[in-house]
Amino acid sequence: MNSATEIITDRIRERVRRDGADLSSSSGLAQTYVREEVRRYSERALGGTLPLIADEDATEREIVATLTGFGPLQGYLDDPGIEEIWINSPTKVFVARNGVAELTNTVLTEAAVRDLVERMLQSTGRRVDLSSPFVDASLPDGSRLHVTIPDVTRRHVAVNIRKFRRNVRDLAQLVALGSLSAQAAEFLRACVRSGQNILVSGGTQAGKTTLLGALLGTAPAHERIVTVEETFELDLSATDVVAMQCRQPNLEGSGEVTLRRLIKEALRMRPDRLVVGEVREAESLDLLIAMNSGLPGMCSIHANSGRDALVKLSTLPLLAGRNIDSAFVQPTVASCIDIVVHLEIDGSGFRRVHEILALSGVLNGPVIEASRLFGLRDGLLQATGSHPTKRAKFDAAGIDPSAILRRGGT
């Protein structure tokens, strides 16, 4: 925003406060205010006391977008205490604060909801229509947008906006929040530093993406990290990061970029660590193959427990084709995955690590052997006394995990 635009925007805001107007209630009112103030400014600028405006129409559009944002939802997007917003119908707008849902008093119209969706998708290059009734996209602030339209929904457009905690950058902050013990944080930091392959599991809204970001915040500074996601969610502060997301097909049905394609392309980009935001389908096979090549990796998965996560990861690759069977997948999961971190969210919305498992690399019939290193006891995440049996990566990094598990956190 240039100086002329800033001056005009500040004057409009002063006028709005003075008049008690609500620009979010009417795009026409916002345009009227902006048009009048741009013309007043231009007249003064002709006198030589202010910088001239090169393109009045473009300036008007920029200021309207700045002032109105996403209309009635902008306040919720700006509120740091709100983590998710969803619209079930024009009269049913919900938000979630600290994991707890509440119905707001915001009332929209069908036209207002459609206008909001169009404005939110405008900068994403994605679309939603009868041929493509679902859309996943990232908003400019990094929030994740999901939209579903009728007739997939019964009557109304369904909108979900999931915000992400940008203030959680490392494991120490999760310890401060009570989501993780200091000892467990030190152990996980050692796992990242030694290049362990880490699977983060949990239910929806359990904090999987936040934990992935915190884990990656402890990675060595020299590492080149490549992330692949359905839509951009991870927000890393590392120096050498390449982030990629999927792409929907165009109107002709071509141009789609899938997670499987992104994983394969990521391997050509000299990664020191590969991160898959979430595995849901056949892309799990490509991830396992990448990890089996010696490339450290992380990913998240929806599951009810750490052991359920291993069962699911052993099943999803079978979706890749009939030539893939469990005789290949299960031993690969057992040898590739080193650590499973499972998270849960309780009824009050509190998120925390529920357990940490270490795989032995051994199959006992159809069961992948894993020892529980940390679990909840009396409401606290505590070491169980078990130690990792796969030590090669720890030893290569000069790290003794048993010492961490014996002495407690620092």
Whole-number pLDDT of residue 188: 98
191 neighbors 199 (Cβ within 8 angstroms)? no
Q: What sign does the dihedral 289-294-299-303 (CA atoms) show?
A: positive
Bridge-based pairing state of the strands 297-302 and 82-89? unpaired
- Residues paired with residue 17 on neighbouring β-strands, in sequence order: none
Task: Identify the CA nearest to 184 among candidates 165, 208, 164, 211.
Answer: 211
174 neighbors 180 (Cβ within 8 angstroms)? yes
DSSP class of 144: E
| 334: phi then psi, degrees, rounded to nearest 5 | -60, -40
Three-state secondary structure of 316-343: HHHHHCCCCCHHHHHHHHHHHCCEEEEE
Q: What is the pTM of this model?
A: 0.79
pLDDT in tens, the chain (410 residues): 567 888 888 888 888 888 887 776 666 888 888 889 898 888 888 877 788 888 888 888 777 766 777 877 888 888 888 999 999 999 999 999 988 899 999 999 898 899 889 888 877 777 888 878 988 888 877 888 999 999 999 999 999 999 876 667 889 999 999 999 999 999 999 999 999 999 999 998 899 999 999 999 999 999 999 999 998 888 888 889 999 999 887 777 788 899 999 999 999 999 999 999 999 999 999 999 999 888 999 999 999 999 999 999 999 999 988 888 888 899 999 999 999 999 999 988 899 999 999 999 999 988 999 999 999 998 899 999 999 999 999 999 999 999 999 865 44
Q: What sign does the dihedral 393-399-400-406 (CA atoms) show?
A: negative
CA dist 256 to 128, 132, 403, 408, Å? 15, 13, 48, 48
Whole-number pLDDT of residue 99: 83
CA dist 236 to 136, 228, 296, Å? 20, 13, 17
Q: Is the peptide bond before 151 cis (omega within 30 degrees of 0)?
A: yes
Ramachandran bin of 398, using left for φ above 0, alpha for ψ from -120 to 50, beta for the remaining angles: left
Q: How far apart are CA 125 and CA 173, in angstroms?
A: 35
* Domains of the chain listed by start with CATH number: 3-68 (no CATH), 73-162 (3.30.450.90), 171-407 (3.40.50.300)
